[in-house]
Amino acid sequence: MTEPSKKSLPEWRAAAVFDARLLRGRGDVRDREIRRLGQAIERWGFFELHNHGVDHQCRQDLFAAQRAFFALPDSQKRSLQRTAINARGYNSGELTKNRLDAKEIFDVGHKPDPLAADDALVNRVVDGWNQMPEDLAIREPIWRWFNLCEPLAIEVYDWLLQALGASDALAAHTDQHTSFLRLNAYSDAQQKEQSKNEKVESEDADSMVPLGIHRHTDAGLLTLLVEDGHHALQVLHAGQWRTIEPSPNAFIVNTGDMLQVLSNDRFIAPEHRVLGSVAGQYRLSAAYFFNPPYDQIIQAGGKEPLIYPVDFEGATEDDFNELANQIDQQFGRLDGLLLNAGILGQRTPLAKYRQDVWDKVFRVNVSSQHLLTKALMPILEASENASVIFTTSGVGRVGRPFWGAYAASKFAVEGLVQIWAAENEGLNSVRINCINPGATSTQMRATAFPAENPESIASPEDIMPAYLYLMGSASSGVNGQSIDAQIK
């Protein structure tokens, strides 16, 4: 539970404000700044960057273009609407953690061939292609800002890698990267639209207004943020939401989930949010999300992921054995296995339960998971500290009416885990446990409880600590246990 917001966070100014000229310098002064940068990111996850070399007039031109774009008639903006096959463009219904944000956005991404048309085949990449307005007075300042942010983000990433002492092989490059620029506009109109769709939850009640962007962490490596002078970014620090008030012409830089993983949790991806519009205030911001190409991980020496589709309903023992062989050939071992596949079946009395549905539920929820574990056990044993996690349920511990095959299958999972754990105890380093997720906002939960408000229960992200614990070394020695992800 968080405490009420505090207006600002002055403590970080002494520790997390940096001059790019020093970071670009040489000798001991630069080395000290790089070390200090690493310490700031370890503690705060964000910093303020001055003297970055991006001309202030370009920023003013960007905001003028933003203001002009969002003032266009709705029909023109909707002609550039994002679609199911194109993640770039305009959107007035952006969701963060499945909650409606009180803002409009416009996304622009990297073009492999800047000279070709936006929708040319060469510029249709994994997340789509750019949909730019025809007015050059709008499109040119936006595209200019994107191209100014790109080299700065690469430079900042390089500083952070140096602070980590990371390999040169991880140095960023721009070919085919998936970075994008998001333009945000916050207004009373968007605030009213949000209010029609949801109530302000108690977690945000101290803000007194709907949120422009709900609480989250950024998914990529790092983000470069500029605001138009109205400060609304809040960071969760020491249990309190604290407002960040950057100096004029500075960038706010924060690290994302990808960099936290890359640094092995040395750098943190800070949880943050943005306050909604207040009393007719109209605000703009622009966030450049730096996401390197997938191939960079491979070029840095990482193993290429193995994708092997399996239908648990129809897969045979031979299918699971072939999957195990492919993992063995590519990786030589397996450090963790999470068995989370499951189907609900019917919610009906046992006397009326269809046998074909019963068989299907047991095939997916029990038999296939046992066969997969059996096939993978030799390469799990090749790991120094492997963990297998099955998924159980509260209805698999105490019988409840009308849960039928699903409940029976979870009783079977509980027993299966105990047997596997007992048979492996002392023979190898593989530990086998199960987790009861509890009431969690998933499609299966919505099917079982259609009248339940999904925002009244935990999100999948909320219960991740239990899974990370069982997958990590901290749970070494824990074996044959059934753990609740949500402690009541």
Backbone angles phi, psi at 387, to 5 degrees: -130, 135
Q: Which is catalytic among the residues 288, 353, 406, 467?
A: 406
Query: If we measure between CA atoms, which residue out of 92, 99, 94, 93 comes closest to residue 203?
Result: 99
Q: Specify the pairing of strand 336-339 against strand 251-255.
A: unpaired
CB atoms within 10 A of CB 280: 7
Give CA–CA dist 481/436, Å, rounded: 11
Give CA–CA dist 240/9, Å, rounded: 10
Helices 317-331 and 368-381 meet at what angle, rounded to 10?
Answer: 30
Give CA–CA dist 212/237, Å, rounded: 19
Catalytic annotation present for 406:
yes
Give CA–CA dist 340/49, Å, rounded: 43
Q: What amino acid occupies position 416? A: L
- C-alpha distances (whole Å) from 191 to each of 101, 186, 187, 274 are 8, 8, 6, 12
Give CA–CA dist 179/293, Å, rounded: 9
State the residue for tokens 């030799």: 378
Rg (CA), the chain: 25
Supply the residues annotated as catalytic: 406
